[in-house]
Amino acid sequence: MNRLALAGLLLAVTLPVQARDERLSFPLQDALTNAEAKSRLDPGIALYFHHQPHPRVARSLGEWATNKKTNAFGKTDKTACEWAFLSAALELQQRARKEGGNAVIDIYSNYKNQPEKSATQYTCGAGGIMAGVALKGTVVTIQDK
């Protein structure tokens, strides 16, 4: 087979895979309680999703956004999305630490700048080779319970 024909064949096979970009929803609970999340999330910086009850806010330190991607090759959409979600949640916790906060409240998905607010689900963009999660939340200092 000549090189031009081989290049054409490879292009025909890989373009549909790369072009896939599905918007999927997954349970927050699964992403927050898998083994990796349990070992890496900081329990000292609370995460509260859209309209989840939280202690009284003593001080608001601003809204912050994250946009994290991960390699999805050879992974299920759910597994890849949970990795991207964990990276985004860790970045929100790092921002809270940097700003002097102890919680992030009203967290919601903002994939491709399209807000999707839920207390039980997050949105992930899943493709053939990449998965991504974008979150926004307000960094705060909450009073002790």
Tell me, what CATH number does 124's domain have? Answer: 3.30.110.70
- Residue bearing the bigger pLDDT, 95 or 5: 95
pLDDT for 2 equals 62
9, part of any domain: no
| Domain assignment of residue 33, yes or no | yes
Q: Write down the pLDDT at residue 135.
A: 98
For 64-111, the pLDDT digits (tens) are 999 999 999 999 999 999 999 999 999 999 999 999 999 999 999 999
* Average pLDDT estimate for 20-43: 96
User: If you average pLDDT over residues 26-39, what whole number do you get?
Assistant: 97
**Looking at the domain assignment, is residue 133 inside a domain?**
yes
Q: Is the pLDDT of residue 12 over 70?
A: no
Distances (CA, A) of 42 to 13, 39, 77, 89, 127: 42, 8, 25, 10, 29
Q: Determine, yes or no, domain membership for 75.
A: yes
For residue 3, what pLDDT is reported? 61
Question: What is the percent of the chain with per-residue pLDDT over 70, rounded to a whole number?
Answer: 86
The per-residue pLDDT of the chain, averaged, comes to: 90
Range of the domain at 87: 21-142
Q: Is residue 5 part of a domain?
A: no
Model pTM? 0.85
Residue 13 has pLDDT above 90, yes or no: no
Into how many domains does the chain fold? 1
Distances (CA, A) of 106 to 14, 16, 19, 111: 39, 36, 32, 16
8, part of any domain: no
pLDDT score for 9? 43
